[in-house]
Structure 1
Amino acid sequence: MKFITALLAGLTLASAATAADPYPARPIRLIVPYAPAGSADIVARRIASDWAKAVGGSIYIENKAGAGGNIGVDAVAKADPDGYTIGLQTVSLAINPSLFSKLPYDTLKDLAPIGMVATSQHVLVVNPAFPAKDTKQFLAVVKASPGKYNYGSAGPGSTFHMAAELFKDVTRADIVHVPYKGGGPALVDTMAGMVDMSFPVLSAAVPHVRAGKLRAIGVTGSKRSPLLPDVPTLQESGATGYAFETWFIVFAPANTPKPIIDKLNAALNKAISAPALKDKLVKDGFDTIPSTPAQAHARLGQELAMWGKVIKDRGISAD
C-alpha cells in the first residue's frame, strides 16, 4: 500500500511538473489547408524553422487539404486551445465565409489570429499573341468585345479567381471565367492559347514571363515587384482603384490563452523581421508584414466585409 501511495504521489508530482513546464513543452503542429508546393505551403516551410527557434520549441507542418482550405481550418478550430495546434491560411480565410453557403466553423468566433505573415502579389498575364501590351490597351480590347475573352483560374474561389473578379468589379471589364483544377493547368493553357489570360500568383508566373511564354500586363498590388521591376502595377497603368494581394495569416483555436498567443506572435515577428528570412521570402515573391494579434484580427474583419460585398455583387458561389 505504501508503494502504491508513493507511486501515485510521484505521478501527481510529475503531472504537476509537466503542467508547469513553460510553453512550448512539446512540438507544435502547424496545419496548412492545402497540398504541398502551393504558396501557403511554401510560406509555412520557409518560416517554420526560424519561428520555432524564436519561440523556443519545434514546429512541424501537416498538410490537410480539401474544400478550398476549409477542412484544414476546421481542424484548427476544433483543436484543443492549448497552443499545440495552429494554422496558416491565405486571404481565403476572409473569402470562404461568403463563397460557401455553410462552413463548419465561424471564422471570427472559432479562431484567434496570431499574426500576419506575408503578402504576395498576383499578375495579369496574357498569351503573347494577345493584342495588348499594357493595361490601357488591354481594357480597350476587352471592352470593345464584351464576353469574347476568357481567363483561366485555379478554380472557383481561388485567389486567381478573386483577383480577376475584383478586377472586373473595378474596371467593368467583361471577361469570362474558365475554372481549372489548379493554377498550373490554367497557366499551361494560357501559354498554349487555350485561354486568353490568367491572374496567377507572381512566383508561379515569373519564370514563364522571363522565358517569353507569357506577357505580363501588370502586377496586382499597390507597388511594383522586385521580381518584375519593369512591369507596372495595374492601377498605375489604367485600372484606377484596383489592388489585390494574397496575404497569409497564422491563427489558433479560439480561447487559446493570451500569453501563448502573445508568445507565438512575438516569436513570429522576430523570425520574419530577420534579414536572412526576409530575403528568402522576397526571392520567392513574398513581402513580410509583422503585426500584432489585434491588427491581424482587424484586417481579417475588414476583408471579410469587403469580400462579402464583392462575392454578393458578382453572384459568385462555390456550392
Structure 2
Amino acid sequence: MLDRRTALALTISSLLAPLSKTSFAQGADKYPARLVTLVHQYTAGGTTDLVARLIGEGLQKKWGQPFIVNGLSGGGGIVGGAHVANAKPDGYTLLLTISVMSILPAMNKKLPFDVERSFAPVAKIASLPFVIITSKASGITSLEQLIARAKENPDKITCGSVGIGSPHHLAIELFNQTAGITLRHVPYKGAAGVITDLLGGFIDMTFIGIPGVAGLIDSGSVTPIALTGSERSPMLPKTPTVVESGYPHYTQETWYGLVAPAGTPGDVIDKLYRGITEVLELPENQKRMDEIGLKIAIEPPAIFGKRLHDEIVSWRKLVTDRQLELN
C-alpha cells in the first residue's frame, strides 16, 4: 500500500502530465514569441550574409517577430557553429550555414561540436555552382585544353582557392581525381587575393562562385571554361558544365541551409521549414536570389540531413584517398 506522500506525488504527476503534453503541442503554434537570432559563420556583406538577411526579413514579415542576423566568423566556420551548437534548443538561435559544414569533419581538426549530433537540419535553401575560370596569361580557353595540358605537365598548372579546406579547395581536389590530373593548389586567405593574382597572371586558374567574377567575365578579363553544377547557369548560358564536357559524375555546388541546435522540438523545425518554403516562393525573393546568382533548391529536414551525412562520408574518403593535409 502506498504511503500518503507517494500517493500525493503520483496524483500531482498524473494531473500535470496532460498539461505538459498540451504545452509542448502548442509550442509551434506560439513560435516565435520573441526575437530570433539567425547566426552565420562569415563576415557581413558576403553571399551567406545576404541569404541570411533575405530569410530573416521574410520570416519576420510572415510571423511578426524580429529576426536579427549575427555574423560570427572565425576558424573556417567553427566559431559560429559552436555558438549555435551550445545554444538553447528552442528555435530562437539558428544557423544559416553552407557546405563547409560537411567538410569540417574531414579536416582532422578537434571540433567543439559534432556536425551530425549537435545540429537538427531544418532545410537546404539554395545552391551555387562554381565557375572554372582561367587567366588570359595562361592561354587556356576550354576544359579539354586544360585537361590535356595538365596531363602533359603534372603539377605545373596553378589553381588558386579561397583557403585550405574550403569547398573550393575540395572541388579542385575532386576534379583532379575525376579527370586524372594534378593541378597545383595555391591557397589564399579569401577571394580577393585569388582574383588579384589571377588577373596579374601569377596563377593560371581558379574555381569560384559566379557572382564575384561576373563583371570580370563580362569584360573579358578572365575566361570561363566550365561550370561545376548539374546544369548551365542563367548568368553564364554559353558556358558548358563539366558534365557536358565528358565527366558525368562530377558536380559540385556550394549549398546554403538552415540548422538548429540538436533537441529543438520537431514541430518548431517543421514550422521553420514551411515558413522558409513560403518565403522563397514569393516572386520578389526569387528575383533577389537570381540577382546574387543562387538557385533556390529547397530540401526538407530529413533529406537535408541525409545530404549532410553522405557528404561527410564522401569528403572523408576523398581526404584519405588523396592524402590531403587540411590543417
Query: With structure 1 as the length reference, what TM-score do the two structures score?
Result: 0.91
**Cross-structure match for 1:88:** 96
Q: Which residue of the other structure, out of 202, 215, 218, is the alignment partner of 1:207? A: 215
- Name whichever of 205-214 and 61-70 sits farther off: 205-214
- Aligned residue among 78, 89, 104 for 1:70: 78
Q: Is 1:100 aligned with 2:108?
A: yes
Gaps in structure 2 of 5+ consecutive residues: 1-22
Q: Tell me the number of residue pairs that the alignment of Structure 1 and Structure 2 aligns.
A: 302
Residue by residue over 1:116-156, the C-alpha shift from the partner in whole angstroms, topping out at 9 and shown as x without a partner, is 11000111100013232211111111111111111111110
CA contact (8 A) 1:32 1:87 kept: yes
Alignment-derived partner of residue 163 in structure 1: 171
Aligned counterparts of 2:238 and 2:290: Cα–Cα separation in 1: 17
Corresponding residue for 2:139?
131
Is the counterpart of residue 176 in structure 1 residue 171 in structure 2?
A: no
* Cα distance in 1 between the residues matched to 2:76 and 2:112: 13
- State the alpha-carbon separation in 2 of the partners of residues 192 and 46 from structure 1: 35
Structure 2 counterparts to residues 1-319 of structure 1, below 5 A = 22-319=30-327
1:84 partner amino acid = Y
Query: What is the rounded CA distance, in whole Å, between the counterparts of 1:145 and 1:197 in structure 2?
Result: 15
Cα distance in 1 for partners of 2:325, 2:273 equals: 34
State how far apart, in whole Å, the 2-side matches of 1:302 and 1:74 are: 22
Q: Please state whether the residue corresponding to 2:70 is helix, strand or coil.
A: strand
Please report how far the alpha carbon of residue 203 of structure 1 lies from its aligned counterpart in structure 2 after TM superposition: 1.0
CA distance in 2: counterparts of 1:261 and 1:183, whole angstroms: 34
Distance 1:55 1:122 in 2: 35
Q: Does the Cα contact within 8 Å between 2:47 and 2:292 map onto a contact in 1?
A: no
CA–CA distance in structure 1, aligned partners of residues 138 and 55 of structure 2? 38
**1:146–1:175 CA distance, 2 compared to 1 (3 A):** same
Q: Aligned with 1:297: secondary structure?
A: helix
Q: What secondary structure is seen at the aligned counterpart in 1 of 2:226?
A: strand
Checking the alignment, whether the CA contact within 8 Å between 2:121 and 2:258 is kept in structure 1 is yes
Decide whether the 8 Å contact of 1:81 with 1:256 is kept in 2.
yes
Poorly superposed stretches of 4+, deviation over 3 Å:
none
Q: CA deviation at 1:291?
A: 2.2
Q: Cα 1:107–1:189, aligned 2, differ >3 Å: closer, same or farther?
A: same
TM-score when normalising by structure 2: 0.89
How far off is 1:51 after superposition? 2.6
- For the 8 Å contact 1:34–1:41, the answer to whether it is kept is yes
Matched letter for residue 230 of structure 1: K
* Structure 1 portions without partners, runs of 5+: 1-15
CA distance in 2, matches of 1:265, 1:230: 35
CA contact (8 A) 1:76 1:253 kept: yes
My pick for the range that moved more, 37-46 or 249-258, is 37-46
Cα gap change, 1:159/1:38 in structure 2, threshold over 3 Å: closer, same or farther? farther
Aligned twin of 1:3: none
- Measure how far apart 1:56 and its partner are: 4.0
Secondary structure in 1 matching 2:208:
coil
